[in-house]
Amino acid sequence: MTSPNMNSVMRTSIVCAISSLAVLASVSTSMARPDARKMTCHQTQSLIKQEGAVVITTGTHTYARFVASNRYCFYPEVRRPTYISTKDANQCPVSHCERPIKLFDD
C-alpha cells in the first residue's frame, strides 16, 4: 500500500514526464529542416535571404547548405551559384559555398 504523499509524487512525476514529451515534440517539429520540394522557388530564395545560411532538404536522402552571401561561407570557401528543384521550378537559382579552384601552386 502506498502513502498519499507517494501517490502525489508519482502523479507529479507523470505530469512532468508528459509535459516534457510534449515540449520535445513541439521543438523537434519546429526545427524540422525545410524541404525545397515543398516550397516555391521564391519561398526558398526568401528563406535563404532571411536566414543568411540554411540547410535545406533537396531530395529523399539529400540536403545541402545554401547561403545569401560570402559572409556565410567558411574560409577559404566562396559563394557560388547553383540550382535546386523546388515545387514550381526545376532550376531555382540559389548559392552555396565551395572551395575555390587552385589553378597554380604558390
Question: Does residue 43 lie within any of the structural domains?
Answer: yes
Question: CB-based contacts of 48: which residues, under 8 Å, 6+ apart?
Answer: 54, 56, 66, 67, 68, 94, 95
* Location of C-alpha cell 507517494: 6
In tens digits, the chain (106 residues) has pLDDT values of: 556 666 776 676 676 556 656 555 544 445 689 999 999 999 999 999 999 999 999 999 999 999 999 999 999 999 999 999 999 999 999 999 999 987 777 6
24 and 41 in a single domain? The answer is no
Question: Does residue 104 lie within any of the structural domains?
Answer: no
pLDDT on residue 9: 67
Q: Provide the domain limits for residue 70.
A: 36-98
pLDDT on residue 104: 76
50 and 87 in a single domain? The answer is yes
Question: Does residue 105 lie within any of the structural domains?
Answer: no
In the chain, how many domains are there? 2
The answer to pTM > 0.85 is no
Three-class SS state of 105: coil
Question: Does residue 76 lie within any of the structural domains?
Answer: yes
pLDDT on residue 22: 56
Q: Other CB atoms closer than 10 Å to residue 5's CB: what's the count?
A: 8
